[in-house]
C-alpha cells in the first residue's frame, strides 16, 4: 500500500490519512494527559 501511495499520491487520500493520524494522536495524548 505504501509503495502504491508513493507511486501515485492522491491528495484526498493523503488528507484523509492525515486526519486519521491526527485523531489517533490526539486520543493518545488525551489518555497520557489524563493519567
pLDDT (tens digit per residue) in 20-30: 999 999 999 99
User: Cα angle vertex 12, ends 6, 16, to 5°?
Assistant: 90
17 or 8, which is more confident? 17
Is the pLDDT confidence value at 6 over 90?
A: no
Residue 5 resides in a domain: no
Tell me the C-alpha to C-alpha distance, in Å, between residue 24 and each of 4, 19, 28. Answer: 23, 9, 6
pTM of the model: 0.50
Q: Supply the pLDDT for residue 4.
A: 58
Residue 24's domain spans which residues? Answer: 10-34
Q: Which residues contact 13 (CB under 8 A, 6 or more apart)?
A: 5
Residue 21 resides in a domain: yes
Domain count for the chain: 1
Residue 1 resides in a domain: no
Residue 17 resides in a domain: yes
Amino acid at each position: 500500500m505504501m509503495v502504491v501511495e508513493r507511486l501515485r499520491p492522491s491528495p484526498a487520500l493523503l488528507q484523509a490519512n492525515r486526519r486519521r493520524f491526527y485523531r489517533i494522536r490526539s486520543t493518545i495524548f488525551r489518555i497520557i494527559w489524563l493519567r
